[in-house]
Amino acid sequence: MADMQEFTLEIQDAGKVSAVVVRPEKPKWMLVLGHGAGAGMHNPFMSALTTELARVGVATMRYQFPYMEERRKAPDKPKVLMATVLAAAQAAAKVAPDLPLLAGGKSMGGRMSSQAAGEGMLAGVRGLVFFGFPLHPPKQPGTKRAEHLQNVNIPMLFLQGTRDDLADLKLLKPICKKLGKRATLHVIETADHSFHVLKKSGRSDEEVLRELAATTANWADEME
C-alpha cells in the first residue's frame, strides 16, 4: 500500500503548479519526477511508473510544469522549467526529510533536472534518473543537449531504449563513457522513447515498467 497526497508548489515568477506525492509504507528514497514535454504528470506512463517505484521502496513527488498546468502547448523557457524543478526538490525535502533525495524524470523533465543540477541549483540531491534522456530532436542526431552534463557532479542513471529516436545510442554511449563513474547506462532492447517494446521482444510494457523501477532502486541502493 502507498499513501498519496496532493500539493501545490509556488514557482518563482511563474505562479503555482500541482504536485502529487506517492509514499510507500517503508520508503528508502524520494524521487522528484518531472514529466515530458508533451504530457503532464497524470499521463499513464508517469502514473504507472510511480506505482512501480512505490513497490520497490521509492517514494515520488511528481509535478506539473507551469505551461502544462495552464494547458499551454509550448514548454516554458528553461529558466522557468529549472525553477520548477528546484521548487519541487525543496518541497520534497520538506515533505520527506527522512529520505535521501533523487531527481529526474521522463525526457524533458529529466533534462531540466540535469540542467538545474549542472547550475548548482539542486543541493542535497544525491543522484539523477533519466527515463529516456532526450539527447536530440527526432531524426536530428547531435550531442549539444548533453554538454551541460560535464557540470553535474552527482551520479546519473540513463534508462534508454534501443529504438529511442531522441537518443542515438551510438552518440549516448560515448557521452556516458566520458562521464566516467558518474554515469550508468541501462539499455532496454526494442524499447522506444515511451518505453513501448516490440512484440518480438516477448515482453510487455508492464514488465518494462517493473524493470525501470527495479533498476532505479538497485542503482540508488548501490550509491549508499
| Confidence (pLDDT) at 38 | 92
* Alpha-helical runs (H) found in 33-190: 44-55, 66-69, 78-95, 108-118, 169-179
Phi and psi at 42, nearest 5°, equal: -95, 5
| Confidence (pLDDT) at 1 | 67
**CATH level 3 topology of 2-223:** Rossmann fold (3.40.50)
Delimit the domains of the chain by residue range: 2-223
Q: What is the pLDDT of residues 62-103, one digit of tens each?
A: 999 999 999 999 999 999 999 999 999 999 999 999 999 999
- In what helix (H) or strand (E) does residue 208 lie, and over which residues does it extend? helix 205-223
Q: What is the pLDDT of residues 112-147, one digit of tens each?
A: 999 999 999 999 999 999 999 999 999 899 999 999
Kindly indicate the confidence band of residue 2, based on its pLDDT and cuts at 50, 70 and 90. confident
For residue 57, the tally of other CB atoms under 10 A from its CB is: 17
Phi and psi at 8, nearest 5°, equal: -120, 130
Rounded to two decimals, what is the model's pTM? 0.96
